[in-house]
Amino acid sequence: MLIVLEKENTVSLPKKFTVAAAALLTVTLFAGCSSTAGGGADAAATPKVAIGIGGQTLLTYLPTTLAEQLGYYEEEGLDVDLQDLQGGSKALTALLGGSVNVVSGYYEHTIQMQAKNQSITSFVQMGKSPAIALVVAPGSASEIKSLDDLIGKSVGVTAPGSSSHTMLRFLLEEAGLNPDGVSVVAMGAGASAVAAMESGGVVAGVMLEPDVSVLAERTGTETVSLADLRSPAGVEEHYDTDMWPSSSFYAQSDWLAKNPETAQKLANVLTKTLAYIAEHTGTEIAAEMPETFSGGDLERYAALIEELKPQLTEDGRNSAAGAEAVLDTQRIANPEVGDAEIDLTATYTNEFVGGK
Domains and CATH numbers, the chain: 48-130+244-346 (3.40.190.10), 132-239 (3.40.190.10)
pLDDT value of position 21: 43
CA-CA-CA-CA torsion sign (227, 229, 234, 235): positive
Q: Is 192 helix (H, G, I), strand (E, B) or coil?
A: helix
Provide the whole-model pTM: 0.80
pLDDT of residue 221: 87
Contact 281, 319 (CB under 8 A): no
Residue 151: name the closest of 229, 189, 204, 196 by CA. 204
Tell me how far apart the alpha carbons of residues 31 and 124 are, in angstroms, rounded to a whole number: 36
CA 46 to chain centroid: 22
Amino acid identity, position 301: Y
pLDDT averaged over 10-residue windows placed end to end, the chain, 356 residues:
37 41 40 39 73 94 98 98 92 97 97 97 96 95 97 95 91 96 94 95 95 91 92 87 94 98 98 98 98 92 94 95 94 93 98 83
Instruction: Find all residues with CB under 8 Å of 117, minimum gap 6, and list them.
Output: none
Q: How high is the pLDDT of residue 104?
A: 98
d(CA 243, CA 239): 9
